[in-house]
Amino acid sequence: MLICNWLLVIAVCAFAQSDFDIANAAYADGRYEEAAAGYEALLAEGPNATLYYNLGNARFKQGELAQAILNYERALRLEPNNKDAKYNLAFAQSKITDNIVEQDFFLSTWLRAVRNALNERTWIILSIGLFILALVGLLLFLLGRETWVRKTAFHIAWIALFFSIISGLNATSLHKRDTLRNEAIITQGVVNAKSSPDRSGTDLFTVHEGTKVTIRETLGKWSNVHIGNNEGWIRTSCLERI
C-alpha cells in the first residue's frame, strides 16, 4: 500500500511538471495566451512564486501591464528576495502612466522594506530561534561563574530578545497584510476616484492601469482607496487584490 501511495505521488508530480513544461514551451514559442492559461491552471492548485512570476512575464508579453504587475507583486509576496521579479516589476511599473506620486515618511518606507525583505514563515522561524538564544543567554547569565561569561550572556540575551520581538512584529504585520489583502492593482485603463460610493460623486483624482492602491473599506460595489495623499471611492470591479 505504501509503495502504491508513493507511486501515486510521483505520478502526480510528474504530471504537474509536464503541465509546467508545456506552459513554458508555449511561452518560448510566443504563444503567450496559452502559456498564461497553463500557469493559471497550475496556480488553481495553490500559490507558487515561480508560477506567478512566469504568469507575469506572459501577461507582460501580451501588453497587459496591470496583470503583469499584479502577478509580480504576488510572486514577491511569496519570495521577497526574487531579484528577477523585482527587476521585472520595476520595469513594468516604468511603463505605466500616473499623475499621483506616493509620498511617505522615509522611516516608514525603510521599515516596510525591512519587513518585506523576508516572508512570514522566515520571520517566525527567526523570531523563535532568537527567543531560544535569549533563553540560553539568560540561563548562562544566571548560572555562569565567570564575570565575563555573565556579562556576555546578559548582552546576548537582551539583544536576541529585542530582535526576536522585532521579527515577531514583522511576521504579524505580514500575516495581517496577507489576511486582509488590502493592497490592490488598478486593472482598468483610466479610473476616476469619487468623493462618495456613487456615480454622482465628485471626481477627486484619476488613477491609471497598473497603479497600486490601498483599500480602506468596501461598501457594496465600491471600494475606498488610498494612494499618496489622495483618498476616494472607485468601483471594486476596477481593481484586483494582490
**Residues recorded for the chain:** 242
> 36: closest CA among 11, 49, 48, 53?
53
Residue found by looking up cell 504537474 in the block:
16
CA distance 62 to 52: 15
Instruction: Tell me the three cell numbers of residue 145.
Output: 561563574
Check residue 134 and give its pLDDT.
97
Check residue 2 and give its pLDDT.
46
What are the strands of the beta sheet with 203-208, ordered from one edge? 203-208, 190-194, 230-235, 222-227, 212-219, 183-186, 239-241
* CB distance 153 to 193 below 8 Å: no
Check residue 3 and give its pLDDT.
54
DSSP per-residue letters across 6-53: HHHHHHHHHHHHHHHHHHHHHHHTT-HHHHHHHHHHHHTT---HHHHH
Check residue 96 and give its pLDDT.
87
Check residue 33 and give its pLDDT.
97
CA distance 108 to 77: 19
Check residue 6 and give its pLDDT.
52
Residue type, 180: L
Those residues with Cβ within 8 angstroms of residue 53's Cβ, 6 or more apart along the chain or in another chain: 71, 72, 75, 82, 84, 85, 88
Check residue 182 and give its pLDDT.
93
pLDDT along the chain (242 residues), means of 10: 51 66 96 97 95 98 96 95 95 80 67 89 97 96 92 96 97 92 93 94 93 94 92 96 95
CA distance 44 to 13: 15
Instruction: Tell me the three cell numbers of residue 75.
Output: 510572486
Check residue 110 and give its pLDDT.
84
Instruction: Tell me the three cell numbers of residue 178.
Output: 496577507
CA distance 195 to 209: 20
